[in-house]
């Protein structure tokens, strides 16, 4: 059995709060000074009076990016390196893949080139928990985690200095710059038995679950007897009550306590894997002495239905 989980692919743009405070003209001048030009050289190139340029750059002196001679300080040179990093990152057109299922717990971010993501679904497509706009909104949660910021930086393939990145990581900001047009899928292969083992009766650890509709067979038996004693009849009834529900994935019995057809919207509706006749003829271990069986009237009603169980999505979407 394969479950296919959707991921949307987005282009990511990097910015830095210190650079956002500066205009294009200031950055142009700083880059020119980094290349060895003097203010007078810049004035000759762009035909703006040198004193006007200096007044514009006084702010950079106050922030200690330049000294009084309008030469770069160590902080200023790092500023230019930072600008280059951001430019190179954005030129590399980095793409991330975001899941459409996890809402409240710690979210993760993946490269669109992740080896576990495929272009096509290979199994049952799981319907989304989150609408497209909400997926983008949840990206802000990812953007607040330094570890995820570092992962996104590494997606660019750039050679990065750990010390340099650690000094700036908290001031980096990533934004999604496009409405997604590409979809990837995580195709999760699991046996029917293993899937059933993973299911839970309720969302006991929050809301990061998907609802799974399990096909079941409901076997109802109405038993009457005008001969057997009450205690004998009661004991026989208990045996049949233990085997009222059967899942149609592997034919095993299901705890019928509190059973009701569930109206919760499901993410997955599984089709039966076995024929209901196999379940009906399955040995359930019910033993009734022939001396009692002769005095029973048994009416059997069989119908197909479904039962909703829940799958913790965090247990699955832990890709490398």
Residue at which a domain ends, from 165, 187, 209: 187
| Mean of all residue pLDDT scores within the chain | 84
Q: Are residues 116 and 58 in the same domain?
A: yes
Q: Report DSSP state, residue 105.
A: S
The Cα 182–Cα 48 span in angstroms is 46
Q: Answer whether residue 30 shows pLDDT above 70.
A: yes
* 96-114 pLDDT per residue, tens: 999 999 887 677 889 999 9
Which pLDDT value is given to residue 4?
96
- Band (227; pLDDT cuts 50, 70, 90): confident
Which pLDDT value is given to residue 320?
46
- Band (184; pLDDT cuts 50, 70, 90): very high
Domain assignment of residue 288, given as a range: 199-315
Residue at which a domain ends, from 133, 162, 187: 187
Q: Are residues 74 and 205 in the same domain?
A: no
Residues 154-170 have a mean pLDDT of 89
Question: Structure tokens of 286?
Answer: 């019910």
Q: Answer whether residue 280 shows pLDDT above 90.
A: no
Residues 192-204 have a mean pLDDT of 86
* 307-320 pLDDT per residue, tens: 888 998 888 887 64
Q: Are residues 94 and 14 in the same domain?
A: yes
Residue at which a domain ends, from 131, 156, 187: 187
**Residue 151: which residues within 8 A CB-CB, separation 6 or more?**
109
Q: Are residues 277 and 161 in the same domain?
A: no
- Band (243; pLDDT cuts 50, 70, 90): low
Q: Answer whether residue 136 shows pLDDT above 80.
A: yes
- Percent of the chain residues past pLDDT 90, beyond the cut: 27
**Residue 3: which residues within 8 A CB-CB, separation 6 or more?**
123, 124, 126, 187, 188, 190, 268, 316
Higher pLDDT, 284 or 127: 127
Residues 54-68 have a mean pLDDT of 87
Higher pLDDT, 261 or 121: 121
Examine residue 193 and state whether it is found in any structural domain, yes or no.
no
Q: Are residues 149 and 281 in the same domain?
A: no
Q: Are residues 68 and 174 in the same domain?
A: yes
Which pLDDT value is given to residue 242?
60
Which pLDDT value is given to residue 87?
92
Q: Are 199 and 177 in contact (CB under 8 A)?
A: no
Q: Are residues 109 and 244 in the same domain?
A: no
Which pLDDT value is given to residue 256?
60
Which pLDDT value is given to residue 138?
84
Q: Are residues 94 and 216 in the same domain?
A: no
Q: Answer whether residue 247 shows pLDDT above 60.
A: yes
Q: Answer whether residue 291 shows pLDDT above 80.
A: no
Q: Are 242 and 219 in contact (CB under 8 A)?
A: no
Examine residue 194 and state whether it is found in any structural domain, yes or no.
no
The Cα 155–Cα 12 span in angstroms is 10
Examine residue 320 and state whether it is found in any structural domain, yes or no.
no
Which residues are registered as beta bridge partners of 124? 3
Q: Are residues 21 and 161 in the same domain?
A: yes
* 34-48 pLDDT per residue, tens: 888 888 888 889 889
Which residues are registered as beta bridge partners of 183? 8
Examine residue 89 and state whether it is found in any structural domain, yes or no.
yes
Which pLDDT value is given to residue 284?
62
Global pTM? 0.77
Examine residue 50 and state whether it is found in any structural domain, yes or no.
yes
Give the residue carrying structure tokens 């080139």: 113
Q: Are residues 163 and 220 in the same domain?
A: no
Residues 291-317 have a mean pLDDT of 80
Q: Answer whether residue 161 shows pLDDT above 80.
A: yes
Half-sphere exposure in the Cβ direction for 60 (13 Å, CA): 31
Q: Are residues 245 and 302 in the same domain?
A: yes
* DSSP H helical ranges for the chain: 17-20, 24-34, 39-46, 50-62, 74-91, 132-143, 146-155, 162-168, 192-198, 230-241, 276-280, 290-293
The Cα 137–Cα 5 span in angstroms is 19
Q: Are residues 62 and 101 in the same domain?
A: yes
Per the structure, the count of domains in the chain is: 2
């Amino acid at each position: 059995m394969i479950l296919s989980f959707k991921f949307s692919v987005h282009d990511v743009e990097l910015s830095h709060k210190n650079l956002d405070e500066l205009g294009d003209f200031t950055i142009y001048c700083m880059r020119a000074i980094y290349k060895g030009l003097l203010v007078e050289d810049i004035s000759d190139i762009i035909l703006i009076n040198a004193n006007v340029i200096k007044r514009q750059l006084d702010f950079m002196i106050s922030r200690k990016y330049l000294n009084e001679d309008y030469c770069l300080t160590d902080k200023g040179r790092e500023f230019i390196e930072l600008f280059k990093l951001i430019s190179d990152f954005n030129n590399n057109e980095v793409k991330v893949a975001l899941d459409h299922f996890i809402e409240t717990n710690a979210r993760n971010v993946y490269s669109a080139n992740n080896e576990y993501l495929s272009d096509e679904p290979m199994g049952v497509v799981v319907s989304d928990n989150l609408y497209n706009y909400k997926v983008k909104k949840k990206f802000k949660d990812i953007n607040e985690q330094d570890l995820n910021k570092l992962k996104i930086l590494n997606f660019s393939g750039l050679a990065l200095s750990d010390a340099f990145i650690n000094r700036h990581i908290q001031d980096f900001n990533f934004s999604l710059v496009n409405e997604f047009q590409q979809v990837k899928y995580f195709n999760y292969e699991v046996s029917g038995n293993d899937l059933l083992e993973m299911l839970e009766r309720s969302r006991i650890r929050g809301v990061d679950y998907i609802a799974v509709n399990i096909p079941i067979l409901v076997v109802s038996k109405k038993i009457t007897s005008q001969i057997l004693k009450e205690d004998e009849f009661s004991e026989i009834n208990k045996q049949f009550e233990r085997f009222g529900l059967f899942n149609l994935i592997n034919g095993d019995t299901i705890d019928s306590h509190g059973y009701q057809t569930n109206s919760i919207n499901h993410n997955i509706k599984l089709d039966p894997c076995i024929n209901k006749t196999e379940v009906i003829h399955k040995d359930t271990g019910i033993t009734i002495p022939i001396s009692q069986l002769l005095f029973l009237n048994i009416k059997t009603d069989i119908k197909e239905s479904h039962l909703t169980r829940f799958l913790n999505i965090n247990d699955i979407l832990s890709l490398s």
